[in-house]
């Protein structure tokens, strides 16, 4: 329902370069890859490998990643010459990522405490 409404709204506004997809965001959307940029707005234990695999050369991904102490850091991953370079952009606090490449049942974001922002 939400996806249908989004499609209709975008079409009504004249956007023809947007694909609205419903699925597990932690696995990305391979059908539209490679991507120049990806923004993830939920924290995970690591950057999901499928999202990295779907980046173009020079592509960037920005995502909050939770550390073992419970703090979250905003990470920018860039594909350069086929390898990944990560840069820590600072402390943040986001909701937990859900899906195949997200938190296991017993280790959800925010349950370990710590991590002043």
Q: What is the mean pLDDT of the chain?
A: 89
CATH of the domain at 70: 3.40.50.150
In angstroms, rounded to a whole number, what is the distance separating the alpha carbons of residues 53 and 79? 9
The domain containing residue 24 runs over which residues? 2-92
Sheet of 83-92, strands arranged across:
35-39, 55-66, 72-80, 83-92
Q: What is the pLDDT of residues 59-114, one digit of tens each?
A: 999 999 999 999 999 999 999 999 999 999 999 999 998 888 887 765 554 544 44
Please check the confidence at residue 17 and state whether its pLDDT lies above 60.
yes
Per the structure, the count of domains in the chain is 1
pLDDT mean over 15-27: 92
Q: What integer pLDDT is reported at residue 108 of this predicted model?
A: 54
Asked whether residue 103 is assigned to any structural domain, the reply reads no
Q: Which residues of 40-78 are buried (b: 16+ CB within 10 A; e: fewer)?
A: bebbbbebbebbbebbeeebbbbbbbbeeeebbbbbebb
- Claim: this prediction has a pTM higher than 0.75: yes
């Amino acid at each position: 329902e939400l996806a249908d409404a989004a499609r209709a709204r975008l079409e009504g506004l004249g956007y023809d370069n947007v694909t609205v997809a419903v699925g597990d965001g932690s696995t990305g959307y391979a059908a539209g890859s490679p991507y120049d940029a990806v923004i993830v707005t939920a924290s995970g234990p690591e950057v999901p490998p499928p999202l990295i695999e779907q980046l173009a050369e020079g592509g960037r991904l920005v995502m909050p990643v939770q550390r073992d102490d419970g703090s979250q850091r905003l990470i920018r991953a860039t594909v350069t010459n086929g390898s990944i370079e990560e840069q820590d952009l600072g402390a943040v606090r986001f909701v937990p990522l859900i899906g195949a490449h997200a938190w296991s049942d017993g280790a959800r974001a925010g349950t370990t405490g710590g991590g002043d922002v």
